[in-house]
Every structure is written in C-alpha cells, then in structure tokens.
Amino acid sequence: MNTADMTAKMAKGNGFIAALDQSGGSTPKALAGYGIEAGAWGSDDEMYGLIHAMRSRIIRSPAFDGSKVIGAILFERTMDGLVDGQPVPSALIAKGIVPFIKIDKGLEDEADGVQLMKPMPDLDALLEKSKALGVFGTKERSVINAANAEGIAAVVAQQFAVGQQVIAHAMMPIIEPEVNIKSATRAECDTILRDEILKALAAMPEGHKVMLKLSLPVVPGTYDALVDHPKVLRVVALSGGYARAEACAELARNRGIIASFSRALLEDLRFEMSEDEFDAALGSAIDEIAAGSTVKTG
C-alpha cells in the first residue's frame, strides 16, 4: 500500500483500528491481563520484550489481517522491532493493515479539569524515523476529566498544534482528547469538546485533514457533525474502560464511528493459550469489534 491506498483505506475501510500501543506504566497491566504477572521480568528491557512477543503473536495470527483490522497503532519500541525478521510496519502493510505510531510522552498533572500532553522535544526526529519505516500516521492522547471550558479549549489547541506538526511531515494525525468515562460531567464534556473541535477544524488550512479518536459519547449522535466534516478523514472511538460487549454496543449506536480498541480487543487473550486457542479468541474479538464498527443500530 502506498500513501494514497492507506488514505483511502482509512477513509472508507470496513473494519477498525487495533491499538497495540500500551507503554510505560500501562505495560505491566497489559501483561497481567495476558496472564504474565509482575515479577516475571527483571528489567524494563525484559518487560518490553514480553509485550513485544505478545504483539508479535497478534500480528502474525491469521485472524489479524486487513479484512477487518484496517489499521494498528504501535508503541515506538514495537515500531522499531521485528516480526519474524521483518520490521513491524512492513509486516502490517503486508497484511493490508495501515500502521500508526503513538507519539505522546504521557500526561501532565491535572489543571482546569484536564491533563495536557507532556512536551515532545524530539517529535520531529520521531516523525522522520516513522515516516521512513512506512508509518502512515500518529496518535496523541490528552485526558478531559471535567467540563471546564478553558481546560477543554487548551486540550484542543494543543492537540491541533501537534497535529499541524505531524501534517508538516506528510503524515496523518489521530487527535485523541479522551473524555474520562467516569467523569461526573461527561455529557457536558462531550458537547464542549465537539464545539471546540469544530472551531479548530474551521481554522485549519484548506486541504489539511485529521482523524479523531474520541470517547464514546453519552448521547449517541453527539459527534455526527465531526463524522460529516470535510476536514475529518475518520472518527474512531476508544473503549475507555468499557468491557468489549458494552463498548461494541455503544459503538453500534453511533453512525460513522469505528473502533480503535486496546483492552477490549485483548481482554480474552492469554499467554498460556495454544496457537489455535489464541487465534480463535482473537478472531472472535475481531469479529465482534468489526460488527460494532460497521453494523449500526442508531
């Protein structure tokens, strides 16, 4: 796939984006869910080796292909690694899956009800490296915990500024201002966020496009204006802590939005499974998430 092919697949592909980008503090939790508890590794390098082995097992599975998994988001260490001797982005592209890279370096402490992204001083170098490996786009995450208009405006401004830096490298940014699903003011967060994103899209140069990764809204259809916006290539949803069945049910109620799930994709996979068991569990999860992404009830 060339860039035009990848763009077309992201715009119209029937399927979802797999999030394989757990990093830093979330890696032990991901390994625990896979059946590998803390203490099974003696160093960070060993820990990252174990998570890379898990991701490699997913990528090489016959259940994981471009017919239903149209994209995959990678952690930098995963992008830099190999699957059966092949660079991970190349292995994905060979299966018809569009590769993305997580670029944020974590979150600042909460202020004004939100957590902005930490500085990314080496972003240009990371984008150059990623582009050279065939990576199509990026993903960068902030968190919104309360319906504070100033805080949400700051999140959106920072996200779109980073997005412009990504676009300057001829890559596609996935802008992810996550609304915490445990927020007491979640529905209000959804509407403030939508309106701020619409303002940012209006100010964006003509010809530029972004993707959006959003929490599933309290009110189905809240993000319809974003789905239909000419400067938005695709809107995808995170599972945000929902179990897979609930996440897929909520997803199906929102037209035009496809999944970009992590925990909800991996929740049934275990280290001790045989290859046949692993492939069957992964295939079942992929089928369920793809259905929520493409068969809508709302």
Catalytic residues: 176, 213
Burial level of 13, CB count in 10 A (0-12/13-18/19+)? buried
Please give the Cα distance from 283 to 194 (Å, whole number).
34
| 8 Å CB contact between 248 and 288 | yes
Please give the Cα distance from 12 to 3 (Å, whole number).
14
Please give the Cα distance from 105 to 230 (Å, whole number).
30
| 8 Å CB contact between 28 and 275 | no
What single letter denotes the amino acid at residue 272?
A: E
Residue 75 phi, psi (nearest 5): -75, 150
How close are the terminal C-alpha atoms of the chain, in Å?
33
